Amino acid sequence: MKRIEFHDREKETKEIHDILDSEPSLITFVYGPINSGKTTLINNLIGQLPEEYAPFYINLRGRFITGYEDFLNVLFEIDEGGATDNIGEYATSILKDLKILSGIPIPINLFEQIFEKKDKSKDMFRYIERFFTEISEKRIPLLIIDELQVIGDMKIDGHLVYKLFNFFVRLTKELHLTHIFVVTSDSLFVERVYSEAMLSGRCRYLLVDDFDHGTTAAFLGKYDFTDDETEVAWEYCGGKPVCLVELMNYEYMEEKLREMLRIRRGQIDQRIGVLQDVHKKVLFEGDKIEVTYDNVMEILKRFSEDERYEYVRITPDMTYLIKENILFADPANSILKPQSRMDLLAIREILHRGGIEHI
Ligand SMILES: Nc1ncnc2c1ncn2[C@@H]1O[C@H](COP(=O)(O)OP(=O)(O)OP(=O)(O)O)[C@@H](O)[C@H]1O
Ligand SMILES: [Mg+2]
């Protein structure tokens, strides 16, 4: 197995450094198609940060969150070591030996106090604000939450995620206390955020897309791909880092790629074909709307010629395809496209076969 080094992302890294150089005032949404390298970029950046920054990185992926209790356990890193009520001293002690933390540190006694409260959010936010106020006296704090959409639909007297956004607006735009990055590959979540009045003018959007051709060629060049091999890889994987990395382990690359495409085509076929057998509904603007096979195919047909297109508005049929991780919507640029080059090829194979069947 080859060890793969972090590659490029100079433009995105610079953009984030520019944000970090200025006073915190907006929430930054880092978004992009599935497996484009968002988490890798953020982790690489955290690892390279100068001493003056204090990063706190929380990844909600794979965490089972059904209520506030679970959320608190993920959000905080409970410090069993020393019980204290002095948040100032506690923050100073944290900074003395700052590792990359997977949660906001909290002394166990304060955590238990929040945990026991009926209205947990008030005390939770109060602690975080105090903690970041203390940290910001000495360092520039950075709060990064990866996969925030995990709590996107969670309701506990109102949407938790909106309470959190309100609080983030306070920490950034009002108090300028800490940089906040929300990372997500759920484009419907980003789309909802994008059209949310409460967040309008309070966020910025940073797209981390698959590599472009030049970056892909340079990446593969590092691992001795010939020009021909690079073109084959690009034809099937585009600049999807995870796909390119996978290829590095196979001697018979083209065979592997065809197999990958066959599998993906089967998956997409299944997700679309199912619409012919059952009536599927998607949640759209609060209503359950039925999607039909024909309408979904109409949307896919646009990709028989184009790799992407500019949409006017997201429809229920698009929502189905996005939910199924077949299409990716970029709301900041109003672009709809397949999640990957492989998905585009699979869609085209399905369309082509459909065309023949219709004759
Ligand atoms: N800049 C890079 N250099 C080298 N490899 C990379 C890079 N970015 C991503 N990768 C490879 O692609 C894989 C997937 O990347 P990553 O998990 O960061 O994507 P993601 O966008 O966070 O995915 P998801 O949409 O699931 O959240 C990584 O495990 C790594 O192997
Ligand atoms: Mg990720």
Give CA 268 to chain center in angstroms: 22
Q: Is residue 322 part of a domain?
A: yes
Q: Compute the distance from residue 31 Cα to the ligand 2 centre, in Å.
A: 9
* Residues with C-beta less than 6 Å from any ligand 1 atom: 4, 6-9, 32, 34-40, 185, 241-242, 245
Q: Is residue 165 part of a domain?
A: yes
| pTM for this entry | 0.94
Residue 222, token pair as written in the block: 């590092």
Q: How many residues does the chain have?
A: 359
For residue 242, which atom of ligand 1 is closest to its CA?
12
Report the mean per-residue pLDDT for the chain.
Answer: 92
Q: Give the integer Cα–Cα distance in Å for 317 and 295.
A: 7
Q: Is residue 194 part of a domain?
A: yes
Residue 307, token pair as written in the block: 């790799």
Name the domain boundary from 186, 207, 228: 207
Residue 160 has pLDDT above 90, yes or no: no
Ligand nearest to the CA of 241: 1
Give CA 252 to chain center in angstroms: 32
What pLDDT was estimated at residue 359? 36
Q: Is residue 235 part of a domain?
A: no
Lowest mean pLDDT among 83-92, 152-161, 262-271, 279-288: 152-161
Element (DSSP H or E) covering residue 83: none
- The domain tally of the chain equals 2
Residue 232 has pLDDT above 50, yes or no: yes
Residue 185 has pLDDT above 80, yes or no: yes
Which tens digits make up the pLDDT trace of 2-24?
789 999 999 999 999 999 999 99
Q: Compute the distance from residue 209 Cα to the ligand 2 centre, in Å.
A: 12
Give the helix, strand, coil percentages of the chain, each rounded to 5: 55, 15, 30
Residue 96, token pair as written in the block: 């003395």
Residue 355 has pLDDT above 70, yes or no: no
Claim to verify: residue 96 and residue 26 sit in the same structural domain:
yes
Q: Compute the distance from residue 209 Cα to the ligand 1 centre, in Å.
A: 11
Q: Is residue 243 part of a domain?
A: no
Which tens digits make up the pLDDT trace of 318-344?
999 999 999 999 999 999 999 999 999
Q: Give the integer Cα–Cα distance in Å for 36 and 59.
A: 16
199's torsion region: left (phi>0), alpha (psi -120 to 50) or beta?
alpha
> Whose alpha carbon is nearest atom 15 of ligand 1?
37
Look up the CATH number of the domain holding residue 285. 1.10.10.10
Claim to verify: residue 61 and residue 144 sit in the same structural domain:
yes
Q: Give the integer Cα–Cα distance in Å for 110 and 86.
A: 10
Rounded to the nearest 5°, which phi and psi values hold at 95? -70, -25
Q: Which range of residues forms the domain containing residue 159?
A: 10-207
According to DSSP, the β-strands at 53-59 and 140-146 are parallel
For residue 36, which atom of ligand 1 is closest to its CA?
21
Ion ligand 2 neighbours, Cβ < 5 Å: 38-39
Name the domain boundary from 207, 226, 249: 207
Q: Compute the distance from residue 335 Cα to the ligand 1 centre, in Å.
A: 22
Ligand nearest to the CA of 339: 1
Name the domain boundary from 187, 207, 227: 207
Residue 27 has pLDDT above 60, yes or no: yes
Claim to verify: residue 183 and residue 274 sit in the same structural domain:
no
Better-predicted residue by pLDDT, 154 or 256: 256
Claim to verify: residue 81 and residue 172 sit in the same structural domain:
yes
